[in-house]
Amino acid sequence: MGRQLVEPDRRHVRLPRLGTIRTHENTRKLARRLDAGTARILSATVSFTRGRWFVSLQVEVMRQVRSPARPDVVVGVDLGVRHLAVLADSTGQITHVPNPAHLDTALAKLRRLSRRVSRRQGPDRRTSRAPSRRWVKADAERNRVHHRIADLRTDGLHKLTTTIRAEYGIVVVEDLNVAGMLANRRLARKIADAGFGQIRRQLTYKGGWAGGVTVDADRWFPSSKTCSDCGAVKTKLPLHVRVFACEQCALVMDRDANAARNLAALAAAVKAGTGVAGDQDAQASNPRGADRKTRTTTRPRTRPGGRAGGAIPHQRTETRDPRQAEAATLR
């Protein structure tokens, strides 16, 4: 195993028991590393995913130590639905990354193909009925659209995270409760299409490759409600309000850009331990506990009545058979 798996024409791989197989992608990058001695193939795995056969080569690679283009610059990444990501760095530059919305773009086509599938004779497990050839053909056509959407989403997220990691040395990203956000039936489809969990995961492990640092903001950190200039915290900020207007100072700016600036300031504040905008220990206007999205109530452990919570002991009553009750009375 090793260099013998990749053919010299860089279009074929030779696998045990399967022989020589042509690949869709060119293997020139791997072949160059193998020829230079900077890579070694450990194993090969063949799988069938999304209607295609894939061969995954586990390779041990000698990587050079990389460094970001701006290692001292901190960037805050605020994820959203309107914009996939809003980047605000410590130099004051704000970048809006548009949301491609691959699923919404192909939704009309998917609905049409799904209607076609539903109108044809599909499989039935109860009666062991096999699907018709027309149903198999229509289902394969619909699955190809789903697979293309997934591939476009994966490609876009990888390009975004690689670009961020190649430029900035310190990246601050939110610890979002994606599973809880999917409970919102009005935004669940858009949130799932954006892939928030993948963005954070890729930024974390790519940070180790690029020699950067990843800072995870606390889930309860009010990045959207905090003013990025004076540090005042709003009590409430509904989701439909897209412009942040501070009541303490004259700051008026985009809601997502303000959140990204707070995330960028969070890394410097935590490192320095100062009470500035973005620091969790900052003393700001917070009359109703706006730094927590949920409010917990504590009850006294004991109440009058001798039991916890003042509960009344349940009185157990036994029921008998009426005939047994009459027999006991006659005795």
pLDDT digits (tens, 9 = 90+) for 159-214: 999 999 999 999 999 988 888 889 988 899 999 999 998 999 999 999 988 888 99
Kindly tell me if the per-residue pLDDT of 77 is higher than 90.
yes
Active-site pick, 139, 167, 174, 279: 174
**Using CA atoms, how far apart are residues 76 and 80, in angstroms rounded to an integer?**
13
Residue with tokens 């303000």: 258
Q: For position 235, what pLDDT does the model report?
A: 87
Helices 107-118 and 133-167: crossing angle, nearest 10°? 160
* pLDDT average, residue stretch 9-29: 90
Decide if 326 is catalytic. Answer: no
Residue 207 Cα to chain centre, angstroms: 17
Q: For position 269, what pLDDT does the model report?
A: 66
Read off the pTM.
0.74
Kindly tell me if the per-residue pLDDT of 82 is higher than 60.
yes
Across 29-147, the runs of DSSP E, i.e. the strands, are: 39-49, 52-61, 70-79, 83-89, 94-98
Decide if 25 is catalytic. Answer: no
Decide if 318 is catalytic. Answer: no
Kindly tell me if the per-residue pLDDT of 123 is higher than 60.
yes
Active-site pick, 78, 89, 139, 167: 78
